[in-house]
Structure 1
Amino acid sequence: MMTDMNYGGVEMVVMNYYRHIDRTKVQFDFFALEGSAVPQREEIERLGGRVYIVPKYTHLSAYEKEIIRLFKQNQYKIVHSHMNTLSVFSLWGAKKAGIPNRIAHNHSTAGKGETKKNIIKYALRPFAKIYPTKLCACSQYAGEWLYGKNAEFQVFNNAIDLSRYSYDPQKAAAVRKELELEDKFVVGHIGRFCYQKNHDFLIDIFNEIHKQRQEAVLLLIGEGELEQDIRNKVMALGLEDSVRFMGKQKDTSKFYHAMDCFVLPSRYEGLPVVGVEAQAAGVPCVMADVVTPETKILESTAFVSPEESAVNWAMAVLESTSHYQKKDTSAELRKAGFDIVTEAEKLERFYYKLL
């Protein structure tokens, strides 16, 4: 069970598990809300799954009626909801349909500045444990935030396919040549243009970096409702030749190989997949200290408060890259539990125990 299915982090996590789980034993069907682009549909169907588009939960009666109908029609034994606090709606429907195993999976927390969203999150949080039979989360912090510190829940890491991201100097050189970045200092960011990701502040940070490194280039991968505002700010600061808007990318893995540093100044986060991917590519990372502690996999990864000045962030970026040599970090990622092959096997065993 999903909310929207586009190119978001939760979608990436679930698809990573789906690609690597033993589909001869476990098969996924995906439920997404009306308005979802579902760019993964072709792949899902090729791998044997089905996609169902259901009414938005804001039309609660229609939403519940449709999911209950489909749950009964398909006679599922497990419903796994990745809707965070909104899982109360999908799992209520699952209980009404008689589904014996109902899993709530949290990927998020509350953040400053999004009053409307936070009101909904805090209003729904007391209901998080009513309808599920099992609780899961992407991190210890995310689990404790939703279910409580004394709750029993299973953590499944936002694991990735390490083979796609591991550092290779020849691959990195080829990507930088392709993007015409061979003589540039490349700062990278991957994220939707929305309030949470704090692009406005990211541009301030890059502006300070650019004052010190005139050859600096900022790669922005993603799209979203605030993109035009950010483009306007870039123009106002005279950075249009140094900031590249790369748009939505189906495969973001190659862009990490072009980066000298990955920067994530989010206002709030759970355990960001992009932070894991950047470290898997051996890229120095400077991230907001609002991310969960489990995000720090490499010693080189630095955390800075989003309340700090853009100057301090820029200094952290420049310091993190001053003596750093990129290397293959696969062993460290695997040891920390971010290898999707291992984590997918863990999810399989979790499902088997339920059945």
Structure 2
Amino acid sequence: MSNVPAQREYFLDSIRAWLMLLGIPFHISLIYSSHIWHVNSAESSWWLTLFNDFIHAFRMQVFFVISGYFSYMLFLRYPLKKWWKVRVERVGIPMLTAIPLLTLPQFMMLQYVKGKTETWHTLSLYEKYNTLVWELTSHLWFLLVLTILTTAGLWLFSLLRRRQEQQQGVLLARLTLSKLTLIFFLLGIAYAALRRTLLIVYAPVLSDGLFNFVVMQTLFYIPFFILGALAFINPRLKELFTTPSPWCLAGAIVGFVAYLLNQRYGSGDAWMYETESVITMVFGLWMVNVVFSFGHRLLNFQSARVTYFVNASLFIYLVHHPLTLFFGAYITPQISSNTLGFFTGLVFVVGCALVLYEIHLRIPLLRFLFSGKPQTKQDKSAVTAR
């Protein structure tokens, strides 16, 4: 269809890849932060804690905006059923592949490292089920959420297209960053109110892994997913994000400070998580402008090296998590310096991930399982040409 842009959005491809790859320093820094994780260093590092908090506060919000943008672009390219099939295969097949090949071995390793293998039989049936949901979904949760959002997109995107046609291409023409800030602030309050209501009515549901991923995570990120689709529909809205805004930059700084203060002085027994949802909802919106504007200026070009990492980013993200946990469990205790350990971890995880990526490229079945894309003769010739 004519709505699909002729020129590839190189800067959005690059940003999406960088956000995916940021998962590596995020999880390695988590080892050395003051946050409790599967594996931690003997002492925490203040700067790695700060670094970890910064990445965590905005990364996935911006990622889901880009996902919504490209999802709607493909929505206009394919018939409805084929669009759903293509999108679900692209995210669902790698997720289902990673569970037995990556997160299950990762879970078994952690059970051994933590010495919990002897107590597994003491857990109730539900506790075993819930533990497996949390541990096997692990860092794959965003693929599950994308699958749900794609299914919801069958209705949402059809509605957006009808509205666009009815309004003769001026959907949300008067939308501004100020209005968006107010909207996302109210959405954050609504999400916080829902969480507090669930906590009062039936608190255990918030500890249920499946409910957390399918309901709570989906509800939090669906505004960003829709925002990405709207940015594709409305060029003016996209321009708002790709044009540097001093107010968004200043707001992002204030928002991150508020996030840190809530992390340091908030109480999980009080309103810490509700406050965090409001802060990260608005902070994430402002960071869309910051990331898009810098990315549009610095990353809007074609490069063979960038294309390589764009193509490799999902695979590297999938395999980095068990590699990181292996590093944290067996190598971190041997390195006394947190800073040295962090950079050693980056070299170890990225190096191993790249080797595994090159190996999987040469095995057609693995290429399909970790990409969800049917392998064509063109794909095989491209591998041969490397």
Q: TM-score interval w.r.t. the shorter chain?
A: under 0.3
Q: Going by fraction, where is strand more abundant, 1 or 2?
A: 1
What is the TM-score when the length of structure 1 is the normalising length?
A: 0.26
Q: Going by fraction, where is helix more abundant, 1 or 2?
A: 2
What is the TM-score when the length of structure 2 is the normalising length?
A: 0.24
Larger RCO, structures 1/2 (Cα 8 Å, 6+ apart): 2
